[in-house]
């Protein structure tokens, strides 16, 4: 399965990058092929484009000894481990277009144990109910094709995982997240493939609806401020970041998930009743996004 999964993820990377280049309309991805004793990968980055301020779509396949601390967090004994995956983070320049993240990974241990992990989550800077519902509905359809219990389970897992404890809020409006998916390898791989092939469907329609929304310096400042929360999560809590750095992964590739520009302001709480306050309220009380009553937003719902 190792070669099969790695090859399929590289093909998925090609498909996603080709679509994103058309969507961006200005720039192409730069590709860096890298290798070290533990493995190799393809890092692709598009920066300062017509749509994306930074877009990173990476694949890798590595085999290494798990450090004792990392093995403890994975609840396994220290041993040889193989991991292959695709990870992408897209940071649009417009504050009206949400940032999105997705990753899908296969891990296999020397003792024969294995599991899949991954998911996709949306981080808007201004909340649009229609977009949130469409994103979640796409992932519900994917899950339902394989197991009707998975969407509510993985949606809850996403809300819990992407939670900044020190802020008391989620990083975004969620999606799905599965961290320890074991069972029939073939069946689970079909599900993960379905997820990967559904990513563009979950995100591109949102981009097409929001990319021409008007914004000013106020919205841009808010975007940069909220990006600070994104950085905080990735550096403090993200397990994939920790896994990559603690297994001697390529730091440039691991940290490509961070936005190129960000700011931190002291006590920058939004004005009550503002569009910014609406977003923060949603992040502090995760909710169901499917079949919610429509709400008029700055972008017309």
Positions marked active-site = 101
What length does the chain have? 301
Structural element, H or E, at residue 31: strand 30-36
Bridge partner list, 122: 100, 174
DSSP label at residue 67:
P
What 3-state class would DSSP assign to 289?
A: coil
Q: Is 193 exposed, middle or buried (0-12, 13-18, 19+ CB in 10 A)?
A: middle
Q: Judge whether 199 and 150 are in contact, CB under 8 Å.
A: no
Q: Judge whether 203 and 68 are in contact, CB under 8 Å.
A: no
Bridge partner list, 81: 64, 109
Give residue for tokens 């961290």: 179
| CA-based R_g, the chain, Å | 19
What are the residue ranges of helices labelled H in the chain?
A: 2-24, 68-74, 129-144, 150-161, 185-210, 217-236, 239-246, 251-254, 275-284
Alpha carbons within 13 A on the beta-carbon side of 56: 20
Phi-psi region of 109 (alpha: psi -120 to 50; beta: other; left: phi over 0): beta
Bridge partner list, 45: 30, 56
């Amino acid at each position: 399965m190792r070669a099969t999964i790695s090859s399929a993820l590289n093909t998925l990377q090609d498909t996603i990058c080709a679509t994103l280049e058309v969507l961006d309309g200005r720039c192409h991805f730069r590709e860096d092929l890298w290798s070290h004793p533990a493995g190799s990968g393809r890092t692709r980055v598009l920066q300062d484009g017509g749509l994306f301020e930074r877009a990173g779509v990476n694949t890798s396949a590595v085999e290494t000894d798990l450090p004792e601390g990392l093995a403890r967090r994975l609840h396994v004994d220290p041993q040889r481990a193989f991991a292959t995956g695709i990870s992408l983070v897209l940071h649009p320049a417009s504050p009206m277009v949400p940032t999105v993240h997705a990753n899908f990974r296969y891990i296999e241990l020397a003792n024969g144990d294995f599991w899949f992990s991954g998911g996709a989550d949306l981080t808007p800077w201004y909340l649009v109910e229609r977009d949130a519902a469409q994103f979640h509905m796409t992932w519900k359809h994917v899950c339902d094709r394989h197991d009707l219990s998975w969407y509510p389970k993985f949606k809850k897992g996403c809300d819990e995982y992407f939670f900044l404890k020190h802020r008391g809020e989620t990083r975004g409006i969620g999606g799905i997240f599965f961290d320890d998916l074991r069972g029939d390898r073939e069946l689970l791989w079909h599900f993960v493939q379905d997820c990967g092939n559904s990513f563009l469907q979950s995100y591109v329609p949102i981009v097409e609806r929001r990319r021409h929304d008007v914004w000013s310096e106020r919205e841009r400042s808010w975007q940069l401020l909220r990006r600070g929360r994104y950085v905080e999560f990735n550096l403090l809590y993200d397990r994939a970041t920790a896994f990559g750095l603690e297994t001697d992964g390529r730091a440039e590739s691991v940290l490509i998930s961070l936005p190129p520009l960000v700011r931190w302001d002291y006590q920058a709480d939004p004005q009550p009743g503002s569009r910014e306050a609406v977003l923060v309220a949603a992040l502090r009380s995760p909710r169901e996004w499917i079949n919610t009553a429509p709400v008029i937003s700055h972008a017309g719902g």
